[in-house]
């Protein structure tokens, strides 16, 4: 056991040193020193030439103090140049790593193109592969396809018409312009630099009404992204494992469990005896038990999948979208199964005077919606926070190493980052199980509350 | 705009995206259906079957143990009874033996008495017979002697002969 730990430790140290050295080597390569690097932990071996095309950053995260930016005045091609932001930005790096993308990047070396499905009001559904963009460093596309470009692994559409009939054109880089509107509100305008000119691009497709830096766009990106592919893989893996166990039950009737059967059985029995039966009730839990098991293994599988380091911190259960879907399913299941007593308790709490009901009913009604909301936020927050913590600790190497320019600093960073990262990963392993368990437990308790028989009163 | 909002603005994981929502809904529902039908159902049935069989086996073992205990007590009772019977039989045998011995002793005693009585009588009879014959012989001899004597002296005197016979009969040999 100690040997395994030691070898693991050495491997980690070696890979970190390699990363640091590569970065320091890169800065002495004769490239301009302003060329920034906000790479994460898995950058060993990226293509250096990509920096010629994609030196950029979210200026909102840029604390390098650079005043000069391109001044975009029109969506269609103000004169502009690629601006290289200096310094390493840990928060931008961390967020980039845990964000969804239209390309599956492994160790920043292998980029697996994913299918693109885009609905566009003008042209209808469009299907193509994300290899059209030829994503490079930071998952920025080197090329544009029609009026789509890939910035940070996400598809954006050029606001300027006239690109729709182009199939292949070079994109030099991306940046974001910050400006204030008349009301003094901050705005960010992302743009792509094509042929020495800056073209304004639309935000990502986000259903947030512009609250979280997105908005309803003129196109919908319905592609199976990195997160979707992860979900499919994890679901297939679990389906395969469970099918194997299910077959074993059919083939080994009356025998002791063996193999995967003996691993899954205690978990299934735990969910039944400690979650389903106590919260929903003996005799009534069978209807909801498959849902609870599905939720548990879906979340657990994806939590653990996100823990595999070289896969680039796939953050499926940390995406609010995914947890929202789960929470909505739990909300619908529990409310559609709600019995008379459940609704009575919300709208007309028995045994309570009328003036209390005036306060209580809105509170109960609100609680109905807050329950799934907390489910959604708890899971997404916990998993995202864990990923950010790990990536921040890894980022120490680059902060101490002055973005790869100081070997001694890198080594100090490595010495600090390894124990912290191992500690954080161990904690995250617990969190993966705990969050899956908590979500299942609360889902069971909400369903149980909705179908509970009230003999008292 | 404060720092928190700027952070959230760029915080892509918390941005709701339609593609991901659609896909995760489809995948989850499919996963739910597939797992319920092809995995959880047979697994739950398998677990239930085994749990039932374990419960049955436990119940049976309990029953068998109870039966065993029952059998044991029966055996004990039988054994005790057998032991009692043996003691009874032994006692009876001893009694019979004693009775037989006593009986035999009595019999032997009475037989011996009877034999000795008969023997005494026989001896008495024999003695009497012997005495009678001896008396007769002695009488005859005495008569012979007396005859000869008298013949010699008296020469066939019947008075003498009667007198001698009278004398002989008067002789008491006892």
Residue A174 main-chain phi, psi, to 5 deg: -130, 160
Contact A200, A159 (CB under 8 A): yes
Which DSSP string corresponds to A106-128?
ETTTEEEE-EEEEEETTTEEEEE
Beta pairing partners, A186:
A180
DSSP code for A158: B
Mean of the pLDDT values across residues A380-397? 87
- Of residues A102 and B5, the one with the higher pLDDT is A102
CB burial class (10 A; 0-12, 13-18, 19+) of residue A143?
buried
Would you say residue B51 has pLDDT above 80?
yes
At A256 the three-state DSSP class reads: coil
Closest in B13, B18, B34 to A99, CB measured: B13
Which DSSP string corresponds to chain B?
--HHHHHHHT-GGGS--HHHHHHHHHHHHHHHHHIIIIIIHHHHHHHHHHHHHHHHHHHHHHHHHHHHHHHHHHHHHHHHHHHHHHHHHHHHHHHHHHHHHHHHHHHHHHHHHHHHHHHHHHHHHHHHHHHHHHHHHHHHHHHHHHHHHHHHHTSS-HHHHHHHHHHHHH----
Chain A: residue nearest B14 by CA? Answer: A320
The whole-angstrom separation of Cα A139 and Cα A273 is 46
Distance from CA of B66 to the nearest CA of A (A): 25
Mean of the pLDDT values across residues A139-159? 83
Mean of the pLDDT values across residues A72-95? 72
What is the pLDDT confidence band of residue A35, given thresholds at 50, 70 and 90?
Answer: very low
The whole-angstrom separation of Cα A415 and Cα A291 is 45
What is the pLDDT confidence band of residue A20, given thresholds at 50, 70 and 90?
Answer: very low
Distance from CA of B41 to the nearest CA of A (A): 8
Contact A241, A260 (CB under 8 A): yes
Q: Where are the beta strands (DSSP E) in A18-83?
A: 76-79
The whole-angstrom separation of Cα A180 and Cα A182 is 7
Tokens of A98: 């845990």
The whole-angstrom separation of Cα A199 and Cα A76 is 5
B119 CA to centre of own chain? 48
Give the best-scoring range by mean pLDDT among A310-319, B6-15, B21-30: B21-30
Would you say residue A38 has pLDDT above 50?
no
The whole-angstrom separation of Cα B117 and Cα A242 is 115
Tokens of A129: 């592969």
* pLDDT score for A124: 82
Residue tagged 């292998």 (tokens): A110
What is the pLDDT confidence band of residue A10, given thresholds at 50, 70 and 90?
Answer: low
Closest in A95, A232, A319 to B20, CB measured: A319
Q: What is the ipTM of this complex?
A: 0.78
Would you say residue B122 has pLDDT above 80?
yes
Residue A419 main-chain phi, psi, to 5 deg: -60, -40
Residue A224: list chain B partners with CB under 8 A. 19, 23
* pLDDT score for A433: 94
- CA-nearest of A111, A135, A113 to A50 is A135
Could you report the per-residue pLDDT of B20-42, keeping only the tens digit for each? 889 999 999 999 999 998 988 88
Would you say residue A12 has pLDDT above 80?
no
Would you say residue A66 has pLDDT above 60?
no
Mean of the pLDDT values across residues A100-111? 80
Tokens of A426: 């161990």
Residue A316: list chain B partners with CB under 8 A. 24
* Percent of the residues in chain A that have a pLDDT greater than 90, as a whole number: 20
Closest in A100, A235, A329 to B20, CB measured: A100
The whole-angstrom separation of Cα A177 and Cα A188 is 5
Mutate which of A92, A212, A247 to disrupt the B interface (most B C-beta within 10 Å)? Answer: A212
DSSP code for A319: S
* pLDDT score for A332: 94
Choice among A245-249, A375-379, B56-60, B138-142 with the minimum mean pLDDT: B138-142
Mean of the pLDDT values across residues A165-176? 80
Residue B57: list chain A partners with CB under 8 A. none
Contacting A residues, span 82-111, partner chain B, CB-CB under 8 Å:
91-92, 95-96, 98-100
At A406 the three-state DSSP class reads: coil
* pLDDT score for B76: 94
Contact A133, A144 (CB under 8 A): yes
Would you say residue A44 has pLDDT above 60?
no
CB atoms under 10 Å from CB of A87, counted, come to 18
* pLDDT score for A210: 54
């Amino acid at each position: 056991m100690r040997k395994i730990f030691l070898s693991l430790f050495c491997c980690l140290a070696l890979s970190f040193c390699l990363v640091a050295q590569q970065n320091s080597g890169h800065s002495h390569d004769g490239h301009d020193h302003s060329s920034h690097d906000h790479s994460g932990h898995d950058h060993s071996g990226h293509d250096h030439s990509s920096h010629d095309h994609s030196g950029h950053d979210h200026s909102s995260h840029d604390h390098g103090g650079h005043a000069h930016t391109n001044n975009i005045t029109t969506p269609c091609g103000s004169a502009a140049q690629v601006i290289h932001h200096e310094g390493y930005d840990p928060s931008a790096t961390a967020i980039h790593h845990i964000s969804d993308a239209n390309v599956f990047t492994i160790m920043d070396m292998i980029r697996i193109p994913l299918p693109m499905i885009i609905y566009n009001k003008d042209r209808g559904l469009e299907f193509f592969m994300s290899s059209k963009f030829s994503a490079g460093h930071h998952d920025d596309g080197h090329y544009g396809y029609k009026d789509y470009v890939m910035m940070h692994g996400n598809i954006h559409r050029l606001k300027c018409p006239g690109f729709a009939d182009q199939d292949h054109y070079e994109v030099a880089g991306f940046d974001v312009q910050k400006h204030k509107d008349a009301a003094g509100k901050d705005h960010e305008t992302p743009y792509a630099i094509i042929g020495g000119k800056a073209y304004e691009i639309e935000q990502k497709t986000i259903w947030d009404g512009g609250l979280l830096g997105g908005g309803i766009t003129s196109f919908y990106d319905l592609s199976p992204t990195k997160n979707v592919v992860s979900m499919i893989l994890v679901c297939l893996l679990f389906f395969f494992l469970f099918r194997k166990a299910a077959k074993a039950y059919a083939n080994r009737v009356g025998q002791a469990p063996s193999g995967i059967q003996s691993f899954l059985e205690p978990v299934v029995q735990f969910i039944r005896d400690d979650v389903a039966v106590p919260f929903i009730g003996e005799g009534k839990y069978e209807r909801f038990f498959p849902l609870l098991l599905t939720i548990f293994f879906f979340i657990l599988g994806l939590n653990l999948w996100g823990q595999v380091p070289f896969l680039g911190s796939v953050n499926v259960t940390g995406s609010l979208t995914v947890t929202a879907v789960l929470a909505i399913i739990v909300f619908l299941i529990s409310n559609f199964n709600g019995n008379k007593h459940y609704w009575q308790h919300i709208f007309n709490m028995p045994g309570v005077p009328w003036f209390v009901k005036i306060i209580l009913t809105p509170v109960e009604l609100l609680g109905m919606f807050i329950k799934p909301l907390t489910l959604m936020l708890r899971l997404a927050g916990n998993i995202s926070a864990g990923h950010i913590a790990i990536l921040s600790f890894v980022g120490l190497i680059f902060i101490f190493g002055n973005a790869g320019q100081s070997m001694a600093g890198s080594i100090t960073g490595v010495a600090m980052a390894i124990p912290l990262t191992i500690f954080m990963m161990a904690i995250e392993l617990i969190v993966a199980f705990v969050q899956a368990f908590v979500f299942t437990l609360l889902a069971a308790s909400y369903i149980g509350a909705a179908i509970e028989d009230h003999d008292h009163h | 705009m404060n720092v928190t909002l700027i952070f959230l603005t760029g915080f892509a994981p918390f941005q709701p995206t339609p593609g991901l929502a659609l896909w995760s809904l489809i995948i989850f529902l499919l996963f739910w259906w597939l797992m319920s039908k092809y995995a959880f159902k047979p697994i739950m049935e398998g677990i239930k079957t085994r749990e039932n069989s374990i419960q049955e086996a436990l119940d049976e073992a309990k029953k068998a143990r109870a039966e065993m205990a029952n059998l044991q007590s029966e055996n004990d009772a039988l054994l005790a009874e057998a032991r009692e019977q043996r003691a009874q039989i032994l006692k009876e045998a001893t009694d019979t033996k004693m009775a037989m011995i006593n009986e035999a002793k009595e019999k032997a005693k009475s037989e011996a008495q009877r034999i000795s009585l008969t023997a005494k009588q026989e001896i008495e009879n024999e003695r009497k017979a012997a005495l009678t014959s001896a008396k007769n012989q002695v009488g005859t001899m005495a008569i012979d002697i007396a005859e000869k004597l008298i013949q010699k002296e008296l020469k066939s005197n019947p008075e003498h002969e009667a007198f001698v016979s009278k004398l002989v009969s008067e002789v008491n040999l006892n």
